[in-house]
Structure 1
């Protein structure tokens, strides 16, 4: 049985990377066990680890579910100087999505449910709230 997961990204400058990811995630890490390593619990049981080291080429993207993808796109461009990126959509896919890179080449992205009711259901499910 799988009950938790971690995903790790590596950056060559840990302090700069930590600041960048704090801005991306709008908060400080939940756990910093030692120098050169930090973790954020993004949703219950799902951790993003930031480690000092050489980034993995060609992996990802790690996409994060958001309420309003355009607002996050604007925030990334303004606060983190991310280049403009395209928001994509296909009729048969229930989400819109976009990808961009952090300054170390790690692939990051966002997705947003097209249907508000479906999105609210997913949020309740993740937070453990049942009707």
Structure 2
């Protein structure tokens, strides 16, 4: 079986509140709003993040995003009003830090995930 794309889904209570937060996270509006209660950001050629209104599941997502420079990413987010947690080591050269959306979904920024 072959797969062509990955779509990570973050369930949220209020799509408008969450979409505004993810706009700050990604530094831009959603690439698509294909239906009521759904917003898509195409963050890589075959990787999307979807924010989907699903109150019963809100706050249950763990989303990992790889960044080239963790310090720069944290600084960029701070400029957009998103405060990242403490930088943690994850191996010899791996570092990571997490942020949380308004529903508590955790988005972890990871630098050098393949190097550990």
Task: Measure the CA separation in 2 of the matches of 1:50 and 1:102.
Answer: 11
Contact 1:5–1:46 (8 Å) recurs in 2: yes
Structure of higher CA gyration radius: 1
- Residue by residue, what CA displacement relative to the aligned partner does 1:74-114 show, whole Å, maximum 9, x if unpaired? 333442343x511112444x421112211111010111229
Aligned twin of 1:42: 43
Contact 1:100–1:107 (8 Å) recurs in 2: yes
Task: Measure the CA separation in 2 of the matches of 1:25 and 1:110.
Answer: 12
Aligned residues: 112
Aligned twin of 1:85: 85
Task: Measure the CA separation in 1 of the matches of 2:49 and 2:90.
Answer: 28
1:102 equivalent to 2:101? Answer yes
Contact 2:25–2:82 (8 Å) recurs in 1: no
Query: For residues 1-131 of structure 1, what are the structure 2 equivalents within 5 Å?
Result: 1-54=2-55, 55-57=58-60, 59-60=61-62, 62-82=63-83, 84-92=84-92, 94-113=93-112
Contact 2:10–2:105 (8 Å) recurs in 1: yes
Cα distance change, pair 91–5 in 1 and its aligned pair in 2 (3 A): closer
Cα distance change, pair 46–98 in 1 and its aligned pair in 2 (3 A): same
> Larger relative contact order (C-alpha < 8 A, sep ≥ 6)?
2
TM-score by length of structure 2 reads 0.81
Higher helix share: 1
Task: Measure the CA separation in 2 of the matches of 1:4 and 1:70.
Answer: 28
Give the aligned CA root-mean-square deviation in angstroms: 2.3
Extract unaligned runs of 5+ from structure 2. Answer: none
